[in-house]
Amino acid sequence: MKLKKKKKTACILLFLDVCIILCFFLAYGPISYLRELYITTSMTTMTHKYLARTIYTEDMIQNVLSGNYVKESNEETNVDDIVIGSTDTADEFDSIYDEQILTRDPEHPEYKLIPLSGNGYRGYLVAIYDPSRIKLGITNKLGTVGQFLREIVVQNNAILGINASGFVDTNEMGNGGEPTGIVIKDSKVIWNSTKTGYSGGIAGFTNEHKLVLMKGTPEEAIRLGVKDAVEFGPFLIVNGKAAEIKGNGGWGIAPRTILAQRKDGIVLFMVIDGRQPGYSIGISMNDATKLLQRYKAHNAVNLDGGASSSIAIGNKTITKPCGYSATGERRIPNAWILK
């Protein structure tokens, strides 16, 4: 018995030694990519920045962040670029990605669900053919408590939806009731709070059902005809031009939710699962932008990611959120929905 206990103890100590060596190698080894990935992934979470600060000095963290960032376009969205319905059907396709978008699913012609997979990630792209049916669904207790995405979809009699705004999440205990930034619903500002530290700006749809990405005030957005909008970022593509992305973009690899629109008006909802080794780790801003370009996104904005990232069709969450609840879902303040 004593010999078995000694062997067990030796195995545990060996495992701990290996973990310590791996941590030291990650922190101070020669592979800068891993170090930068670890720091940027940790520092762009709301509550896990300590994972980087426990190992690295503040100077080293800032040095890494300064070399990994997204430089957004200064252009204003040109809504005249968007011609809704200009590519309803096609006899020939530019690429397999265009074919995936434009070949409709006869079972639900309003949208098409396209599975995505790549190096370390899995998720879905939803192509929505009629942008006039995109609305912003709001939690029924805004300012108090959020709802699960599937609940917002159902209460709005919607077909499907994705999460939208970020929210106050102190110590990862936020209940999704308080959005960060502005929220515009039916051309009225229904929420206006401080947006914490993220790039981007106002992202929403005009009365002509065109996605607008803009820096400015909610009042300016409404004057431009914006009907429904949230505030987040960064803006990944503006007027067909991708943002300048240095390194991994400074956001590491994580679950993502992205809203986009093609020149033909087709709206794209993209959600990538993450933080689940063996299934999906997530995607960088760089790779997400390249993926959007394959599907001809003309304007695209990053929305709240992490454990909030999800797609619900009816009352069913079809992605695999990585939150701490039994289902992985988090309560959120609002959602982009297909009515």
What does the DSSP assignment read for 287-307?
HHHHHHHHTTEEEEEE---GG
- Averaged pLDDT, 117-125: 98
In the DSSP assignment, the letter for residue 50 is: H
Mean pLDDT value across the chain: 89
Map out the domains of the chain as residue ranges.
Answer: 2-70, 73-338
pLDDT of residue 63: 83
Per-residue pLDDT tens for 317-338? 999 999 888 899 999 999 999 9
β-strand partners of 204? 212, 229
Angle between helices 2-28 and 32-43 (to 10 degrees): 90
Per-residue pLDDT tens for 264-298? 999 999 999 999 999 999 999 999 999 999 999 99
Report d(CA 338, CA 110) in Å as an integer: 9
Provide the whole-model pTM: 0.88
Residues ≥6 apart with Cβ < 8 Å to 215: 201, 202
Angle between helices 32-43 and 58-66 (to 10 degrees): 100
Residue found by looking up tokens 């990585």 in the block? 322
Query: Per-residue confidence at 181, pLDDT binned at 50, 70, 90?
Result: very high
pLDDT of residue 171: 65
